[in-house]
Structure formats: structure tokens, C-alpha cells
Amino acid sequence: MATNTRRTFLKIAAAGIAAIFVFLWNKLIVNHLATSQQSKSVFPFNKNKTVSFIDNYIVVNNEGTTTVLSSKCSHLGCTINNAENGKLVCPCHGSEYDLTGKILKGPAYKNLEIIPSKITENGQNIEIGS
């Protein structure tokens, strides 16, 4: 009798763990689809400012090049909203990225996502997204 109870408990526990796994996997996929289906947005552009935090983006003007990065930290997704000494610093766990989005210090281990962008013809706005 005790063996049956233990087996039943283990089956229920395994089913619970599987359900949690499926839930988390589904959430990851939905998040990925949400970020990969971004639409185009237009924001004012200031070419004289090295780093601008706009909406969910980081616009970097460095050495004549404009790069737009996702402000979502590649570690656990906190919003990066700080630049110190030429580095982008995550406020949550201290990951650091250079101005091209390349990881300099963990715990994050992936670079920031580069977002397609285009400066409008009059140079006053930037279109971000695809």
C-alpha cells in the first residue's frame, strides 16, 4: 500500500514538474516572438549626444556611427538605463557592455541585441525597428 502511495506521489510530482517546464518554455517562446516582431517607431534624433535612452532602446553615436541597441539586458532582461565611463551598465546585477553592445562583464554572457535603424533624410529623427 505504501509503495502505491509513493508511486502516485512521484507521478503527480513528475507531472507538476513537467507542467512547470512547459509553462516556462511557452513563456520564453512568447517573449522571443514579441521581441522579434517589433514594429518600426520614429523618435527624435540628436547626433551630438553619445548615448540616449529612448523607449526600449539605446541609441549610441560613436566615432561617426549610430547604433541602436535593445536596452533589455541579456542576463535577466532588466532595462539598461545608465552609461558610465563609456560603458552601458545594467542596474540589476552589474553586467557591463561596451558602446557596440558587446559584453564586457557578467553575469550576462551575451551581447545586447542590435536593432535595425535608419536616420531620416532631414537628420532629425531616427526610425527604429524592422
Residues that bind ligand FES (CB under 6 A): 73, 75-76, 78, 90, 92-95, 107-108
CB distance 47 to 82 below 8 Å: no
Q: Which is nearer to ligand FES, 75 or 118 (CB)?
A: 75
CB distance 91 to 80 below 8 Å: yes
Closest CA to 117 of 125, 105, 106: 125
Q: Which is nearer to ligand FES, 96 or 127 (CB)?
A: 96
Whole-number CA gyration radius for the chain = 21
Rounded least distance, CB 58 to ligand FES, Å: 13
Rounded least distance, CB 128 to ligand FES, Å: 21
**DSSP 3-state percent helix, strand, coil across the chain (nearest 5):** 25, 30, 40
Q: Which is nearer to ligand FES, 58 or 108 (CB)?
A: 108
Rounded least distance, CB 50 to ligand FES, Å: 21
Rounded least distance, CB 83 to ligand FES, Å: 14
Q: Which is nearer to ligand FES, 68 or 73 (CB)?
A: 73
Closest CA to 113 of 53, 35, 55, 25: 35
CB distance 36 to 28 below 8 Å: no
